[in-house]
């Protein structure tokens, strides 16, 4: 028995009534928040590296990404790079240690537009997972950036 739904519905109804008196809908208010703070999209994409040597291809991909940190992804400059296996962070040409995290085979790239991409191998199959947090001005901008990021990652994994 979940009683939180009743309280949530009541709060939403109160918000809708409050903004209706101001001549706004909840969608209007949501769009104002997007205009002020940006629009975000979080998504995951998996790429399976097929064939008998799929696991080796995956190891090579991650080794290459560690050895050659991309300067840009999807046309956006990489401003910070974190490697959670080595617990190292590279930002503005300065390498520092990552503290407070367990070591894990994860790479994370932060872009100049406020987006980030994390990459990690699957532990059970020759598959690589790409976690995206894409920031844009609006929904259209986010969708366009998503296509650019996906294409760029696809090229990197060939």
Is residue 126 within 8 A of residue 46, CB to CB? The reply is no
Domain boundaries, the chain: 1-37, 38-156
pLDDT-based confidence at 156, cuts 50/70/90? confident
Among residues 121, 145, 110, which one has the least CA distance to residue 38? 145
Query: Per residue in 119-147, pLDDT tens?
Result: 999 888 888 999 999 999 988 999 999 99
Strands (E), the chain: 39-48, 72-73, 76-83, 88-91, 94-97, 107-111, 116-121, 127-136
pLDDT-based confidence at 5, cuts 50/70/90? confident
Which of 3.30.230.10, 3.40.50.360, 3.30.70.580, 3.30.310.50 is the CATH number of 38-156? 3.30.310.50
Q: Kindly report the pTM of this predicted structure.
A: 0.82
**Has residue 105 got a pLDDT over 70?**
yes
Q: Which residue has the tokens 């109804």?
A: 13
What per-residue confidence (pLDDT) applies to 2? 63
């Amino acid at each position: 028995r979940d009683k939180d739904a009743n309280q949530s519905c009541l709060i939403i109804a109160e918000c809708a009534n409050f903004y209706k008196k101001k001549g706004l809908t909840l969608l209007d208010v949501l769009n104002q928040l997007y205009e002020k703070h940006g629009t975000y999209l979080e998504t995951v994409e998996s790429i399976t590296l097929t064939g008998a040597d799929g696991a080796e291809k995956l190891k090579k991909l991650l080794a290459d990404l560690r050895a050659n940190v991309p300067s840009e992804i999807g046309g956006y400059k990489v401003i910070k790079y974190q490697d959670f296996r080595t617990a190292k962070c590279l930002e503005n040409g300065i390498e520092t240690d990552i503290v407070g995290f367990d070591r894990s085979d994860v790479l994370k790239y932060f872009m100049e537009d406020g987006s980030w991409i994390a990459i990690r191998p699957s532990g059970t199959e020759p598959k690589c997972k790409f976690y995206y947090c894409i920031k844009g001005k609006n929904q259209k901008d986010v969708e366009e950036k998503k296509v650019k990021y996906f294409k760029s990652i696809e090229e990197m994994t060939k």
